[in-house]
Amino acid sequence: MGICWCKEKHEESESYFPQSSNDNIDNAIQSVTPYSSAEYYMENTEKGCPDSSIVDKLVLETLGIIGTLVDNEQEPPPSMLRLHNIADNEEGWIQVVKSMVQVIPMLDPLGPSVITLLLDDCPLPSRESVLQVTSMFNLSAQSALVDRPNAPKQRNICVVLGCIAEKLAGPSSLGILTDSTLDYLITNLDMDTDPHVILFSLIALEKFAQTSENKATIIRRLQNEICCPISKLEQWINEEHFVKRQVGFCAQWALDNLFIMTNRKFSYLTVNNSHLNAMLNTSDVSEYLKISPNGLEARCDAYSFESVRCTAQADSGVWYYEVCIITPGVMQIGWATKESNFLNHDGYGIGDDKYSLAYDGCRRLIWYNAKSEPQQLPRWQPGDTLGCLLDIDNQQIIFAVNGKEIPPCTHVFSMARSGFFAAASFMSFQQCHFNFGTEPFKFPPNVEYSKFNDCGVLEPESKKVMPRHIYLDQLRQQSVREDSCTLCYDKKASVRLIPCEHEGFCTSCVGQLTECPMCRSAIHLVVDDNT
Amino acid sequence: MAALPRRIIKETQRLLQEPVPGISAVPDDSNARYFHVIVTGPEDSPFEGGLFKLELFLPEDYPMSAPKVRFITKIYHPNIDRLGRICLDILKDKWSPALQIRTVLLSIQALLSAPNPDDPLANDVAELWKVNEAEAIRNAKEWTRRYAMDN
């Protein structure tokens, strides 16, 4: 997707400075920084911390530049590397956090994602710095009320709290979630707060709940309120106001998955999915994507690039579905075969391999095989409709935003002629709603086409979108047979390796190996002892 | 969520039933491929007394490829860099699908007992470890006290 710098990619490099410089990026940087390029790159360890105005500028530069980066293998921009160096000492880390909270504007669609990306790639903060940052914010029920007019700052504080809670799950997360921090977050859930602030307060609570003691504390606190504030927010689930709608989605997800209230029924037990014949596939999705109980809406609040395919497969003919864009950030929505892999932690999703093709209306790019082509449509906005037409007979895919088409794409048909699924990938804090034909289309194409909901078939069991904790409990109770392969524990162990004579593996595992997993000697022959 | 491979179910059950001394590895509530790990600093090492938090993630093709592991607690060690990434052969080219989460974590614990400055990931730390081991060990103890002890 182009803006994920995962651990893997730095793995072999010893420094965090750009190995090669990119002229365009250099120019962009020099125009706004007082540092000469040489100093900019060479300064190995930051001594102390630069002036806050410099850090503010670097944060804004990173925000500005990050949406334009499209190559997964590309080095991070110099402004981001410089921020990493500044954050290497404790004082610098605190300044970087301060600057992000001060300067990231509310309406930049990449704002919260950039905070997450920067904090995730920065050197690890110590417990003291983290505590110092939270005490610097001076959070309390009182501050939540008094600072309400400064919504962008409050929103950014909540994003930062969520990131820290996730990054430092465990004792440090416990240390930050003091009574006053919790007061602050719960007070923010009041329906009169700016919905952006409510949204990220809710997400912060969710991230704090990754530490089980915190989860228990939050649940106790919610139960003590006269009326659970999250339950109230759940009513916004179908709001026309798209930020409130996100709040409703997250509230419902939290109540189903994390903050389980005794008097509330799980949504998957109350929702009526009988009319569904096609939906997002809960068995074909990366780990952190949230899917709504009605199976048609998805959202990502993790820092990874989460993906999902739908349940119905298209092998011939013409197919169409629509997506309602709920958040304006990076999503890659389109078509994929089962061969397309969800490498969420490496930043690869739909459109990032040879078996999928996607449109990203935030950066206005068509994606195929991790390469992008710019398009001429305006940036998508909440409420826009993305139309996705797959014409297998004529081997073309046509995307349209609010009925305005972009030129047909044909790339993917060199690799696949059938076996297509509607599919999408989501950057952090992105959400959209799928229409596979259960509702009338807003911009139906002028050709004959089929709808997945008319042609798909779903068993009643597979229409259930179960909360993960229930699903995982069921999985963990599965028993494993004693004579199974010691590598996959799935198939029966049946083969012996020659010459080393090690055994206890199945044919499909051994088929993926060139040397013995026990002694590393080369495999010359595989003997099946069952035949 | 993609169906969870039996291999992961089996390892998880065993980790919970027969924990490894000095190591705790707990699967995340909502993601069965993500483990919250705490390793205690080995006795007679500069890390003694510290509790080091790590994250361990089992990639899609596990066990054919290695788990991804990194330190979340800051640590002064020549084979661990400032982002917590670990230089350990079994996590890279010496991975074998017969290795497990438990063996990986034991190897990491062993790496704390026996730092290897000749195969560094954190160059400045490795350099000091080679030229002035006593000072390096002092630093490691100081970092353990500052970052890995609760009080």
Q: pLDDT of A56-104, one tens digit each?
A: 999 999 998 887 776 666 778 888 889 988 988 889 999 999 999 999 9
Domain contains B19: yes
| A171 closest CB neighbour out of B28, B84, B150 | B150
- The pLDDT tens digits of the residues spanning A497-524 come to 999 999 999 999 999 999 999 999 999 9
Closest-approach residue (CA) in chain B for A290:
B1
pLDDT value for A46: 54
- Contact A471/B1, CB-based, under 8 Å? yes
Residue A17: pLDDT band by 50, 70, 90 thresholds?
very low
- Contact B64/A512, CB-based, under 8 Å? yes
- Contact A126/B147, CB-based, under 8 Å? yes
Rounded CA separation A82/A94 (Å): 15
- The pLDDT tens digits of the residues spanning B53-98 come to 999 999 888 999 999 999 999 999 999 998 899 999 999 989 999 9
Residue, of A46 and B97, whose pLDDT is higher:
B97
- Contact B82/A123, CB-based, under 8 Å? yes
Q: ∠ CA(B49), CA(B54), CA(B59), 5° rounding?
A: 155
Specify the residue for token string 């139960």.
A223
pLDDT value for A47: 61
Nearest alpha-carbon partner for B15 in B4, B27, B3, B5: B27
Domain contains B127: yes
Nearest alpha-carbon partner for A323 in A347, A299, A287, A304: A299
Residue A347: pLDDT band by 50, 70, 90 thresholds?
confident
Cα distances (angstroms) measured from residue A293 to each of A296, A321, A385, A467: 8, 20, 22, 9
Exposure string over A268-306, b if 16+ CB within 10 A, otherwise e: beebebeebbbbbbbebbbbbbbbbbbbbbbbbbbbbbb
Residue A388's DSSP bridge partners are A321, A399
Closest-approach residue (CA) in chain B for A285:
B1
Once rounded to an integer, what is the mean pLDDT over residues A163-171?
83
SS3 A122: coil
DSSP state of A496: E
For testing the chain B interface, which of A476, A490, A520, A521 should be mutated: the one with the most B CBs within 10 Å? Answer: A476
Is pLDDT of A275 > 90? yes
For testing the chain A interface, which of B4, B9, B88 should be mutated: the one with the most A CBs within 10 Å? Answer: B9
Once rounded to an integer, what is the mean pLDDT over residues A108-135?
87
| B85 closest CB neighbour out of A7, A170, A487 | A7
Please count the other Cβ atoms lying within 10 Å of the Cβ belonging to residue A483: 8
pLDDT value for A477: 77
Considering its fold, how many domains does chain B have in total?
Answer: 1
SS3 A302: coil
- Contact A170/B96, CB-based, under 8 Å? no
Rounded CA separation A159/B148 (Å): 26
Rounded CA separation A391/A41 (Å): 49
Answer whether B90 touches A (CB < 8 Å).
no
Residue A51: pLDDT band by 50, 70, 90 thresholds?
confident
pLDDT value for B119: 83
Specify the residue for token string 């109350």.
A270
Residue B87 designated active-site: yes
What ipTM was reported for this prediction? Answer: 0.85
Is pLDDT of B1 > 70? no
pLDDT value for A73: 63
| B97 closest CB neighbour out of A341, A484, A487 | A487
Specify the residue for token string 């007070």.
A187
Rounded CA separation B47/A123 (Å): 20
SS3 A137: helix
Domain contains B91: yes
Cα distances (angstroms) measured from residue A388 to each of A16, A421, B48: 40, 11, 58
Rounded CA separation A282/A141 (Å): 39
Domains and CATH numbers, chain A: 7-234+250-259 (1.25.10), 280-473 (2.60.120.920), 480-531 (3.30.40.10)
Cβ distance B1 to A287 under 8 Å? yes
Average pLDDT along chain B: 90
pLDDT value for A443: 97
Highest-scoring range by mean pLDDT, A47-61, A305-319, A516-530 = A305-319
pLDDT value for A273: 94
Nearest alpha-carbon partner for B32 in B4, B59, B68, B52: B4
Answer whether B14 touches A (CB < 8 Å).
no
Nearest alpha-carbon partner for A126 in B149, B54, B26: B149
| Amino acid in position A318 | V
Residue A90 C-alpha, separation from nearest chain B C-alpha, in angstroms: 12
Cα distances (angstroms) measured from residue A187 to each of A112, A179, A230, A494, B25: 21, 12, 11, 61, 35
- Contact B74/A124, CB-based, under 8 Å? yes
Residue B99 C-alpha, separation from nearest chain A C-alpha, in angstroms: 8
- B contacts of A468 (beta carbons < 8 Å): 1, 29-31
- Contact A11/B64, CB-based, under 8 Å? no
**Proportion of chain B above pLDDT 70, given as a percent:** 97
SS3 A74: coil
pLDDT value for B3: 66
Is pLDDT of B49 > 90? yes
Q: Which of B25, B86, B87, B121 is catalytic?
A: B87
**Proportion of chain A above pLDDT 90, given as a percent:** 64
The radius of gyration of chain B's CA atoms, rounded to the nearest angstrom, is 16
Window from A216-230, A278-292, A368-382, A476-490 with minimum mean pLDDT: A476-490
Who's near A501: CB < 8 A, 6+ residues apart?
none
SS3 A325: strand
pLDDT value for B29: 76
Is pLDDT of B151 > 70? no
Q: Which domain holds residue B38?
A: 6-148
Range list of H helices, A2-89: 7-10, 23-30, 37-42, 52-66, 78-86
Once rounded to an integer, what is the mean pLDDT over residues B4-33?
87
Residue A477 burial (10 A CB sphere; 0-12, 13-18, 19+): exposed
Answer whether B102 touches A (CB < 8 Å).
no
For testing the chain A interface, which of B29, B54, B142, B146 should be mutated: the one with the most A CBs within 10 Å? Answer: B29
Who's near A417: CB < 8 A, 6+ residues apart?
A392, A395
Closest-approach residue (CA) in chain A for B9:
A476
| A343 closest CB neighbour out of B28, B53, B60 | B60
Residue A12: pLDDT band by 50, 70, 90 thresholds?
very low
pLDDT value for A392: 95
**Measured between alpha carbons, how far apart are the two ends of chain A, in Å?**
47
Q: Which two tokens stand for residue B38?
A: 């705490």
Residue, of A196 and B61, whose pLDDT is higher:
A196
Average pLDDT along chain A: 87
- A contacts of B15 (beta carbons < 8 Å): none
- B contacts of A513 (beta carbons < 8 Å): 97
Residue B2: pLDDT band by 50, 70, 90 thresholds?
low
| B7 closest CB neighbour out of A127, A282, A487 | A487
Is pLDDT of A208 > 50? yes
Once rounded to an integer, what is the mean pLDDT over residues A302-310?
92
Q: Where are the beta strands (DSSP E) in chain B?
A: 23-27, 34-40, 51-57, 68-71
Is pLDDT of B120 > 50? yes
pLDDT value for A2: 60
Which residues numbered 56-85 in B keep a CB inside 8 Å of some CB on A?
57, 59-60, 63-64, 68, 70-74, 82-85
pLDDT value for A390: 97
Closest-approach residue (CA) in chain B for A286:
B1
pLDDT value for A1: 62
Answer whether B17 touches A (CB < 8 Å).
no
Is pLDDT of A531 > 60? no
pLDDT value for A71: 65
Cα distances (angstroms) measured from residue B48 to each of A502, B22, B44, B143, B150: 39, 11, 6, 11, 13
- A contacts of B96 (beta carbons < 8 Å): 517-518, 520
Residue B139 C-alpha, separation from nearest chain A C-alpha, in angstroms: 15
Rounded-to-10 torsion of CA A82, A88, A92, A93:
100
- Contact B68/A486, CB-based, under 8 Å? no
Residue A318's DSSP bridge partners are A391
Who's near A24: CB < 8 A, 6+ residues apart?
none
Who's near A123: CB < 8 A, 6+ residues apart?
A84, A87, A88, A93, B82, B83
Is pLDDT of A29 > 50? no
Is pLDDT of A387 > 50? yes
Window from A19-23, A412-416, B48-52, B76-80 with minimum mean pLDDT: A19-23
Length of chain A in residues, anyone?
531
Cβ distance A467 to A460 under 8 Å? no
Q: Residue B122: left if φ>0, alpha if ψ -120 to 50, beta else—which one? A: beta
- The pLDDT tens digits of the residues spanning A353-364 come to 999 999 999 999
SS3 A6: coil
CATH value at residue B91:
3.10.110.10
- Contact B85/A10, CB-based, under 8 Å? yes
Rounded CA separation A346/A418 (Å): 27
Instruction: Count Cα atoms within 13 angstroms, Cβ side, for A493.
Output: 16
Is pLDDT of A3 > 60? no
Chain centroid to Cα A500, Å, comes to: 45
Answer whether B131 touches A (CB < 8 Å).
no
pLDDT value for A521: 92
Domain contains B1: no
